[in-house]
Structure 1
Amino acid sequence: MPSPTNAAHGAASQSSAQGAQVKSAVRTVELLEYFAGRPGMHSLAEVQEQTGYPKSSLYMLLRTLAELGWVETDATGTRYGIGVRALLVGSSYIDGDAVVLAARPTLDLLAEDTGETIHLARLDGANVVYLATRQSQHSLRPFTRIGRRLPAYSTSHGKALLATLGDDAVRRLLPERLEPLTEHTHTDREELIRELAEVRARGYAVDREENTLGLRCFGVAIPYRTPARDAVSVSVPVARLTPGREQTIRDALFDARDRLTLATRHL
């Protein structure tokens, strides 16, 4: 029978090994998120400066991820970026998401009814992530990739989703000072919260060139759960927007919300 001392040492050693494995897993995920949020190639020194990881362990982790295809290197092998295997995870998430599947007919119809660019987005912390898009057929139109992440406070679908939270929940989620993306972006959290009260009252949110200059967007939350986590929006170049056009878009959005509520009622 092992002595109590040996048993204690064995347990401590096992716990230490498990802790190291957990730390390695956390760093792996953080590295992939780092590269996913910063397109292009980055030097080891740059990654080390941003992550704070020890250079030797960071190098070994990057080599392992590169061998597995999750990270790519340039021709010199000294710069790193997100690898092609990451696409498999993203595609699998989108392809298997029940809301995305249920929303497809409604997104198609909304794009047909408005002739504008349509987005389906999900709240993820303080950001929204694009899950699906339908491009406008106009030559003047926004281009958005699936998987794009933006601050919720600067987008119409983000504000529609934040409006389904309580004011205190928004305060916990967002800092007092908000980083502007354009000259029209809210920079004061309390000012944003006052607008969210208006969003709740009228049932839709508006992005007035707060994320992209020259673009106005209208968004509604999909209330299949409370608080909502998904929303749909219509994006329109300001040059093409009139009061009558705006009313048509709002009406189409409300119809889409009703159809999406019905389509997602069992989710």
Structure 2
Amino acid sequence: MTSTPPPARPPGQPSDPTPVRLLVVDDDPLVRAGLALMLGGAEDVEIVGEAADGAEVPALVDRLAPDVVLMDIRMPGVDGLTATERLRARPGAPEVVVLTTFHADEQVLRALRAGAAGFLLKDTPPAEIVAAVRRVAAGDPVLSPAVTRRLMSHVAERAPAPAPAQETPDAPAAPRSPSRRTLARERLAGLAEREREVAVCVGRGRSNADIARELYLSVPTVKTHVSRILAKLGLNNRVQIALLVHDAGLLDLPDGEDSA
């Protein structure tokens, strides 16, 4: 494991764009070396540390203050999903991008629900990895609308139906737990009407500019609504808004329709 302390800028020196500070977490030293080689040529991305296990992440984050953590999923000890959940539960946590393949959709969904800003495939071209790190550091998830819908639809289709409750003549039926759809709709019910409309647009993969045109709002107003939605729902990013809207069943409706 290697690490670099945060750089100090001499007083009076002109302020160049500050590089994105990146922590790479992967148990394979060859993968870490490959990422370091790929990202080393980017002037605005700096790898400040490496870890081979999710258990090392909290201490490294406290010491190195990375902006983004590139997190492998499968690792011995503390895996990347658990490490992401623990990290994103902390105040002021850095953004997390998980490294995975399309063969682990449910795991990716768990990471996104935990607050990861998105995911990258391990065979992603170097230029796209650099661009993704920049986007996440700027507050944008690294999931295209098409990939978001594919991922959520795939998991929804594979979700097993709940088993019917067993009743006996001598015992009353056990109360049914609220479904994911019911719980999601209860959370969204706390939004104002316009916030709900914006949330549905986010779920459909619309950009802020697209939402502004569709709802006849200014882009700054859309950004304000998105910020309020995140605060009211206790979410970390737009991907989580999209997942919640999906769980509520609102993406099953045609554009322009909503369900109370």
Give the TM-score range, shorter chain.
under 0.3
Normalising by structure 2, we get a TM-score of: 0.23
Higher strand share: 1
